[in-house]
Structure 1
């Protein structure tokens, strides 16, 4: 199979600005070039790669979650990320992978998409 890496995830959203702001403010993704596709949306970038495509769909399908359980990103600065989640009132679950010690932080975006952020084991535990 010729797959070498993940290219992007696509999420459906009801509110484009709220969704883009959420991923910009929390994950540091930036909105960038998106070709005219004939429907509203945005591409959010991590560096030079468009890793998250947002497509407007009103209303969102029910149930909101499909067969994709979650999207995961490698991340840094666990303590500050948890602080941002708490400031925004976003509920989250934080745990450690038993074998590797990797920190795993789970939460939902404004549209119900489940997001995982993975932090290296040497990150300091957040103060709660």
Structure 2
């Protein structure tokens, strides 16, 4: 039997600099910082997009073997060009002001790639957060 009432609660991202990553999600995508429990030995910042969806940013364990690049760049081995973003490596959001949103990415100097689906209606923009996590924003927010 499938879980009854199942819904997505939060997405977690590990980062060497949760403050920098939180500022990106607040400024670029409009997330709101919410009360976060004190986890003691490592920084955690919780952000909310809607009443039902949160983003939990968790300080990377310094003992982690995951590679990371210089401040503000994708980790070593990550895709640097949004045109080459693997199909399954992103979080997607929809907006009702697609053109204005894409313009704001350009004004911020955020490298991006736009694509229009064959139906001619669905437009998408792909880009990365400061830690190299793939993001997609589409015109389906209406």
Contact (CA 8 Å) 1:102, 1:121: kept in 2 or not? no
Give 5+ residue unaligned stretches, structure 2: 69-74, 79-87
Q: Determine the structure 2 residue equivalent to 1:78.
A: 98
* 1:93 equivalent among 113, 130, 140: 113
Give the match's secondary structure for 1:18: helix
Q: Secondary structure at the match of 1:89?
A: coil
Kindly name which structure, 1 or 2, has the bigger radius of gyration based on alpha carbons.
2
Partner of 2:105, secondary structure, is: helix
Partner in structure 2 of residue 34 of structure 1: 36
The 1-side partners of 2:124 and 2:9 are apart by 21
The offset of 1:99, in angstroms, is: 4.0
TM-score by length of 2: 0.72
Match of 1:102 among 122, 132, 140: 122
Give the superposition deviation at 1:46.
Answer: 1.1
**RMSD (Å), alpha carbons:** 2.6
**Which segments of structure 1 move beyond 4 Å, counting only runs of 4 or more?**
none
Aligned length: 121
In 1, the alpha carbon distance for the partners of 2:89 and 2:111 equals 17
Give the structure-1-normalised TM-score.
0.79
